[in-house]
Amino acid sequence: MVALQPFIIGPILEELVYRGVLMTSFFEKSKFYLDCLLSAVMFSVAHLSSYGFSLEVFKNYAFLGLILAILFRKTRSIYPSILVHMAWNIYLSWHLIAFVFFAQ
């Protein structure tokens, strides 16, 4: 179960919170995309606890959060952002996945 957390459980829960709850509770459909910005910043801040504060890490997570937020807003569905989030986490961890499952 622990192995599934970053690839399945984490993306589902994070998307439900940062896109599903935040974006539909604050600044919904703001013409200035404030809902997307809030979601992206909160997503990034939450991930800083894993790495310590770094402007580079903050920018990277905020950028990913913004992409996921805009995807959620444009499609009006949580499923595309969940799938992209899962795919991104798998992509970032592919070397670890390959080592665990395909190492001789």
For residue 20, the one-letter residue type is G
pLDDT digits (tens, 9 = 90+) for 75-89: 999 999 999 999 999
User: In terms of Cα–Cα distance, which of 82, 83, 86 is closest to 6?
Assistant: 86
Q: From CA 48, how far away is CA 74, in angstroms rounded?
A: 27
- The structure's pTM equals 0.86
Q: Which residue has the higher pLDDT, 8 or 101?
A: 8
Listed residue (8, 32, 33) closest to 23, CA to CA: 33
Query: What proportion of the chain, given as a percentage, has pLDDT over 90?
Result: 64
Distances (CA, A) of 98 to 65, 87, 91, 102, 103: 26, 15, 11, 5, 7
What would the pLDDT profile of 60-78 be if each residue is shown by its tens digit? 999 999 999 999 999 999 9
- Pick the range with the lowest mean pLDDT from 18-22, 47-51, 66-70, 99-103: 99-103
